[in-house]
Amino acid sequence: MEFSCKDFKVGKCEGEKVVDGETMPLVLQPPVPNKSDLESLLLALKNNKEWFEQMIIKNSAVLLRGFDVKNAEDFNEIVETFEWEDIRYVGPAPRTHIHKRVWTANEGPLSEFIYYHHEMVLIKEYPKKVILFCEIPPPEGGETPFVPSFKVTEKMMEEFPEEVKEIEEKGLKYTFTAPSANNVSSMRGRGWEDTFGTSDRKEAEKRAKALGMDVEWLPNGGIKTILGPRCLTKVFEGRKGRKMWFNTVVGMHGKEISSAIMADGTEIPEHVVKRCEEIIEEESIQFKWEKGDVLFFDNYALLHGRRPSLPPRKVLVATCK
């Protein structure tokens, strides 16, 4: 589908890239200066819902810039315009509910780098779209870099065909440990009680099972979750048959509170993981947040992360099916 919409003007942003013929992110701005108000934006989105969703799939990332989006309430109105079904976040990141469908993004220390990932990649049901809103851009750093997932697969298959084939055939197994209560001093400090919405261990086990996890209880009151087998790559309908690098091997391999191995117990070679980390960084797309930005990610197609930053930084998030 070609770009054609009278209600938006195509713009540019620093750091954008053309990947396989598509601009990432596709920047959409008001068609004229007096159409930057929230009401005009909501009307434009309402009148072009199907087209806008096709742009997200086509370009993987769409950035609304130059519109008067002030706060969580405004952001929620944008999200609700599309009538996409909400999906509750399940994962290690500490987050706070702000308003209706809007939450804070990872509240871990701004000094830490949040590694590239597909949102909720290890859970049976993951969001199709991740939508971010910048209320307060950081004075330095704090970018939300993203990576076309299929490019990682292409390079890994070129450089490590045998290793990729073996992992594909065997599948992956992950483990992750979480404390009982939230620890906001860590970017992975969300406690199991908050994660599963209960302090009852039996109920937590039941809810974990429904999400595709096995659990082990630790002496300190924490929990160890075991997930597997999980895929290395995945092909999603409508995305040119691209093989997405739909895993979190680099983010979890050999860490203090997590691990990633092949499902039969075989270790993943260290040099393969290290080179994958380099490839992901090489393929990354960086852009600077501006106040009022609203960024739509195709979570099937993109990994995303967070660069360290100076405070203040306030980016809010909504996740949709």
Q: Are 240 and 21 a contacting pair, CB within 8 Å?
A: no
Per-residue pLDDT at 93 exceeds 80: no
Residue 21 has pLDDT above 80, yes or no: yes
Q: Is the pLDDT of residue 211 over 60?
A: yes
CA distance 250 to 273: 6
| CATH architecture for the domain at 148-281 | 4-Layer Sandwich (3.60)
Given this model, what pLDDT does residue 90 score?
83
- For the ranges 8-22, 92-106, 134-148, the lowest mean pLDDT is seen at 92-106
How confident is residue 19, by pLDDT bands cut at 50, 70 and 90? very high
Q: Answer whether residue 248 shows pLDDT above 90.
A: yes
Mean pLDDT across the chain, nearest whole number?
A: 95
Using 50, 70 and 90 to split pLDDT, how confident is the model at 80? very high
3-class secondary-structure state, position 186 = coil
Instruction: With CA atoms as reference, report the closest residue to 173 among 201, 214, 113, 128.
Output: 214
Q: What percent of the chain has pLDDT over 70?
A: 99
Radius of gyration of the chain (CA): 20
84 secondary structure, DSSP code? P
pLDDT at position 300 over 80: yes
Query: What pLDDT does 59 receive?
Result: 97
- Flag whether pLDDT at 258 surpasses 60: yes
pLDDT digits (tens, 9 = 90+) for 167-197: 999 999 999 999 998 887 777 878 999 889 8
In this predicted structure, the answer to whether residue 1 has a pLDDT above a threshold of 60 is no
- In this predicted structure, what is the pLDDT of residue 183? 83
Q: How much is the pLDDT for 2?
A: 53
pLDDT attached to residue 137: 98
Nearest to 191 by CA among 201, 179, 175: 179
Residue 62, both tokens: 């769409």
Phi, psi of 240 (to 5 degrees): 60, 20
DSSP β-ladder status, 314-320 and 129-136: antiparallel
DSSP string of 232-257? S-EE-TTSTT-EE----HHHHTT-SS
CA 84 to each of CA 8, 16, 64, 269, 300: distance values in angstroms, whole numbers, following the listed order: 21, 27, 18, 40, 15
Residue 94: how many CB atoms within 10 A of its CB? 20
Cα separation, 261 vs 171, whole angstroms: 9
Counts for the chain of helices (H) and strands (E), in that order: 9, 19
Architecture field, domain 9-107+122-139+286-320:
4-Layer Sandwich (3.60)
What is the location of CATH 3.60.130.10 in the chain?
9-107+122-139+286-320, 148-281
At residue 47, does pLDDT exceed 90?
yes
- Token output for 85: 């079904």
> Which pLDDT band, with edges at 50, 70 and 90, does 91 fall under?
confident
Instruction: Please provide residue 282's backbone torsions phi and psi, each rounded to the nearest 5 degrees.
Output: -60, -35
What is residue 124's predicted lDDT score, i.e. its pLDDT?
Answer: 87
Query: Could you tell me which residues come within 8 angstroms of residue 289 by beta carbon, excluding any fewer than 6 positions away?
Result: 134, 137, 138, 142, 143, 144, 315
Cα distances (Å, whole numbers) of residue 117 to 36, 107, 245, 303: 32, 16, 10, 5
Does residue 158 carry a pLDDT above 80? Answer: yes
pLDDT, position 94: 78
Residue given tokens 């490590």 in the structure block: 160
Global confidence as pTM = 0.94
Q: Which has more pLDDT, 94 or 200?
A: 200
Tokens representing 38? 């929230």
Across 70-81, average pLDDT: 98
